[in-house]
Amino acid sequence: MADRYLHFTGTAPGRFLTRRLGLPRPVALRRWSPEHPRLDGDVLLLTTGGSRHTDALVELLTSQGLPPATASSRPAAVVLDATGASCVADLTEVHTALHPVVRSVADNGRVVVIGSPPDPADHHQAAAQQALEGFVRSLGKELGRGRTANLVRVPGPTGSASSTLRFLLSPKSAYVTGQVIETGPEAAVRDPDDWERPLAGRTALVTGAARGIGEAVADVLVRDGARVVLLDVPAAQQDLIRVADRLGGTALPLDITADDAGERIVAALPTDGGLDVLVHNAGITRDRTLANMPRDRWNAVLDVNLGAVLSTTDTLLRTGVLRPGGRIVATSSIAGIAGNAGQTNYAASKAGIIGLTRSLAPRALAEHGVTVNAVAPGFIETKMTAAVPLLIREAGRRMNSLSQGGLPTDVAEVTAWLATGGVNAQVIRTCGQSLLGA
């Protein structure tokens, strides 16, 4: 369903009324397209006195076709190197660097702060670096005009941040703001030969792929060069085949909760028998308050959204089908972070995905060479949210820093970035910095 309010605020009467009444004034987001693959304008690189990686950042940004400027009247992005911030005085330098330029950032622009992980052995450094998180989350709520702010923590050389900065400094990250992302370790990094098709030669399995977010994920993975195997329930077979035929992929009608689901997935893979990207997108809702929720509604959601993810992941790792260098991306939800009335089953399952991600990620990387990350969507414009009552739907759209709902492609872009590599054990909220949750 079209967001008519967003369209109205782009008109002259809409701008006048929303300004006079103090209503949200969302700006249409500029997302990636073949005609608009990059941000338009300069990347302004700023530093604090204790910056550690400025020279390396210059080299990295230049290699990405984003040579940084030292001054710009209307930058498309601002990158601040605060990796050396280790005391309160260094935080004053953060203010000094950004205060004069933050108003000048172009509409749909980006602010990216580069920090370091808090050091448990140095409470002054830990305080300063943790302060950057509060700063960036607050800045994301202030910027407006489709602009975003994110914090990237680099544990070592900035080479581990290559894919993350490439993503954040592009239209692909339009609905990601107020997030804290830790890059590396180096073992998680795999720079592709061709950044225009970073998944070329790789095979991806997407569950829940017949429609909505799953279909969008398949679209973007194919755009980035992947071969796709698309899985959904047999009842969605007609739509699944349509999507697979359009993308040149393989359709796999299958109940993901079946006892032999893992074995049937293996049998459906291309003749080389390996899998490089596993996207757990399949999910269902069976909403009721807990007092009114029968056991079958509880079990159905936990079985599909969490139990099947655990069992198929275990099978594909144990059999070695998920190859070294592989990527697992599981779909959580802000409901799993903040909770949601009437969704105790759904929120439990999506919080379980976060627990799975954080626990499995270090072991999967050490034992199998595979990274594990999660994407946590907020209010995304789908057929399901179009059926939500009007007032609740409008609240979902407006209660975030960008004052609008996301699109399935926003979740797909985050998934494709995580499938490329460079991070591990991360849970990336794709919610426009929803006011719900942390």
| 272 vs 308, residue with greater confidence | 308
Query: What pLDDT digit, counting tens, does each position of 352-371 carry?
Result: 999 999 999 999 999 999 99
pLDDT surpassing 90 at residue 17: no
For 161, what's the count of Cα atoms within 13 Å in the CB-facing half-sphere? Answer: 29
Report field, pTM of the whole predicted structure over 0.75: yes
pLDDT of residue 421: 80
Measured CA to CA, the distance from residue 181 to residue 102 in angstroms comes to 21
Measured CA to CA, the distance from residue 290 to residue 226 in angstroms comes to 41
- The set of catalytic residues is 346
Whose structure tokens read 């693959």?
37
pLDDT surpassing 70 at residue 168: yes
For 208, what's the count of Cα atoms within 13 Å in the CB-facing half-sphere? Answer: 20
| 256 vs 25, residue with greater confidence | 256
Q: What residues form DSSP beta bridges with 227?
A: 203
Q: What residues form DSSP beta bridges with 209?
A: none
pLDDT surpassing 60 at residue 134: yes
Whose structure tokens read 């210059």?
58
Dump the DSSP string for 302-364: HIIIIIHHHHHHHHHHHTT-EEEEEEEEEE--THHHH--TTBHHHHHHHHHHHHHHHHHHHHH
pLDDT of residue 203: 96
| 173 vs 71, residue with greater confidence | 173
Q: What residues form DSSP beta bridges with 33?
A: 36
Type of residue at 88: V
Measured CA to CA, the distance from residue 53 to residue 65 in angstroms comes to 18
Cα-based angle 54, 183, 74 (whole degrees, multiple of 5): 50
Across the beta sheet with 43-47, what order do the strands follow? 43-47, 77-81, 110-115, 148-153, 180-182
Cβ count within 10 A of residue 232: 28
Measured CA to CA, the distance from residue 268 to residue 239 in angstroms comes to 18
Measured CA to CA, the distance from residue 75 to residue 65 in angstroms comes to 15
pLDDT of residue 65: 87
Residue 59 parent element (H or E): helix 54-63
Type of residue at 346: Y
Measured CA to CA, the distance from residue 204 to residue 229 in angstroms comes to 6
Measured CA to CA, the distance from residue 135 to residue 197 in angstroms comes to 35
Whole-angstrom distance between the N-terminal and C-terminal Cα of the chain?
28
Q: Measured over all CA atoms, what is the biggest interatomic distance in the chain, rounded to whole angstroms?
A: 63
Whose structure tokens read 């569950």?
207
Distance (Å) of CA 55 to CA 46, 160, 236: 11, 15, 52
DSSP, res 91: H
pLDDT surpassing 90 at residue 4: no
Query: What pLDDT digit, counting tens, does each position of 48-78 carry?
Result: 877 778 888 898 899 888 889 888 889 999 9
pLDDT band for position 165 (cuts 50, 70, 90)? very high
| Percent of the residues in the chain that have a pLDDT greater than 70, as a whole number | 99
| Percent of the residues in the chain that have a pLDDT greater than 90, as a whole number | 75
DSSP, res 434: B
Maximum average pLDDT range among 9-13, 35-39, 158-162 = 35-39
For 268, what's the count of Cα atoms within 13 Å in the CB-facing half-sphere? Answer: 21
Distance (Å) of CA 240 to CA 10, 161, 220, 376, 381: 37, 36, 16, 24, 20
Q: Give the domains, in start order, of the chain with CATH numbers.
A: 31-183 (3.40.50.720), 192-430 (3.40.50.720)
Query: What are the tokens at 185?
Result: 């370790």
